[in-house]
């Protein structure tokens, strides 16, 4: 008999069941014996069972109480397993990081309804993370890794690329899951930049400016940035006020934000 409750749609529970895909995802994190790994949403353990023997320490953050109980039982016989019963969006990663001299690695087949908030939450700890391998809706990974000039390039691309090197690794079809989701998925690897090429003086202001610039994609910067920067200021860093946000590089956004 299946020891698990039926998958909960409200928690984005689409469980991986394709062994090849599972192997490829775990391999993408290049886990070394001393590594401290944090897995978001272990679910029934598709990734977890593979990670556990590879990692020095594995921390799980799971929201589903039944699954937490299942993992807490497993932890009684696995010395390198720690289980955190929490919502990842409210989970302070310092609980895992601060006691450690070394950085951690993060992996997760993320619930799609909270994927962008999870990425922004993790970004707060980017200087203590070596690498993040995450599964998301394919369109989201396309937006994360998009280059200026196309329709996929937007707020998510700029905000994440300012802090990470982002790789679109591979696409995962619905059939790899139980139950199958309605959309295709993809795996992304985010590696925090050790030297930030385009630093910003104030991250909140950078975030606000990027959001405002993309709030009306078809309008020019002169219009969308009204109230923040005037045309002369925009021109002062070599950006054309008649350009649209989707044509600007991360470097140009950083330069504009640093005028504020």
Least Å from the CB of residue 235 to ligand SAM: 44
- Residue 170 contacts ligand SAM per CB under 6 A: no
Candidate residues 12, 119, 159, 210; the one interacting with ligand SAM per rule CB under 6 A: 12
Least Å from the CB of residue 169 to ligand SAM: 15
The smaller minimum CB distance to ligand SAM, of residues 111 and 192, is found at: 111
Q: Which residue is nearest to ligand SAM (CB)?
A: 41
Candidate residues 4, 15, 120, 170; the one interacting with ligand SAM per rule CB under 6 A: 15
Candidate residues 70, 111, 155, 176; the one interacting with ligand SAM per rule CB under 6 A: 111
User: Which x/- pattern, by CB under 6 A, does the window 44-73 give for ligand SAM?
Assistant: x-xx-------------xxxx--x------
Parallel, antiparallel or unpaired: strands 81-85 and 177-178:
unpaired
- Residue 154 contacts ligand SAM per CB under 6 A: no
Candidate residues 26, 42, 93, 142; the one interacting with ligand SAM per rule CB under 6 A: 42
- Residue 43 contacts ligand SAM per CB under 6 A: yes
For the chain, give the DSSP string: ---SPPP-GGGT--EE--HHHHHHHHHTT---TT-EEEEE--TT-TTHHHHTTT-SEEEEEE--HHHHHHHHHHHTT-TTEEEEES-GGG--THHHHTT-SS-EEEEEE--GGGHHHHHHHHHTTGGGEEEEEEEEEHHHHHHHHPPTTSTT-SHHHHHHHTTEEEEEEEEE-GGGEESPPSS-EEEEEEEE-SS-SS--S-HHHHHHHHHHHTTTTTSBHHHHTTTT--HHHHHHTT--TTSBGGG--HHHHHHHHTT-
Candidate residues 36, 41, 163, 213; the one interacting with ligand SAM per rule CB under 6 A: 41
User: Which x/- pattern, by CB under 6 A, does the window 78-97 give for ligand SAM?
Assistant: ---------xxx--------
The smaller minimum CB distance to ligand SAM, of residues 63 and 153, is found at: 63
- Residue 16 contacts ligand SAM per CB under 6 A: yes
Torsion of CA 62, 64, 67, 69, to 10 degrees: 90
Which residues in this chain contact ligand SAM in the complex, by CB under 6 A?
A: 11-16, 40-44, 46-47, 61-64, 67, 87-89, 109, 111, 114
């Amino acid at each position: 008999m299946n020891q698990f409750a039926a998958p909960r749609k409200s928690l984005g529970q689409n469980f991986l069941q394709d062994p090849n895909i599972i192997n490829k995802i775990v391999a993408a994190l290049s886990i070394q014996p001393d590594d401290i790994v944090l897995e978001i949403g272990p679910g029934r353990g598709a990734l977890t069972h593979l990670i556990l023997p590879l990692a020095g320490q594995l921390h799980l953050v799971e929201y589903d109480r039944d699954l937490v109980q299942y993992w807490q039982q497993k932890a009684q016989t696995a010395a390198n397993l720690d289980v955190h019963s929490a919502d990842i969006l409210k989970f302070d990663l310092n609980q895992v990081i601060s006691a450690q001299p070394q950085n951690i690695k993060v992996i997760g087949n993320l619930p799609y309804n909270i994927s962008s908030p999870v990425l922004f939450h993790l970004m707060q700890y980017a200087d203590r993370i070596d690498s993040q391998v995450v599964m998301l809706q394919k369109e989201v990974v396309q937006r994360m890794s998009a280059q200026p000039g196309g329709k996929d390039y937007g707020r998510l691309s700029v905000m994440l690329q300012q802090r990470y090197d982002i790789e679109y690794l591979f696409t995962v079809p619905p059939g790899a899951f139980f139950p199958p989701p309605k959309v295709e998925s993809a795996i992304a690897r985010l590696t925090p930049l050790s030297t930030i090429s385009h630093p910003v003086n104030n991250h909140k202001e950078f975030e606000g400016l990027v959001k405002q610039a993309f709030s009306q994609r078809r309008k020019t910067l002169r219009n969308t940035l009204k109230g923040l920067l005037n045309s002369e200021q925009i021109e002062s860093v070599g950006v054309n006020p008649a350009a649209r946000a989707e044509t600007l590089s991360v470097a140009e956004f950083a330069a504009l934000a640093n005028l504020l």
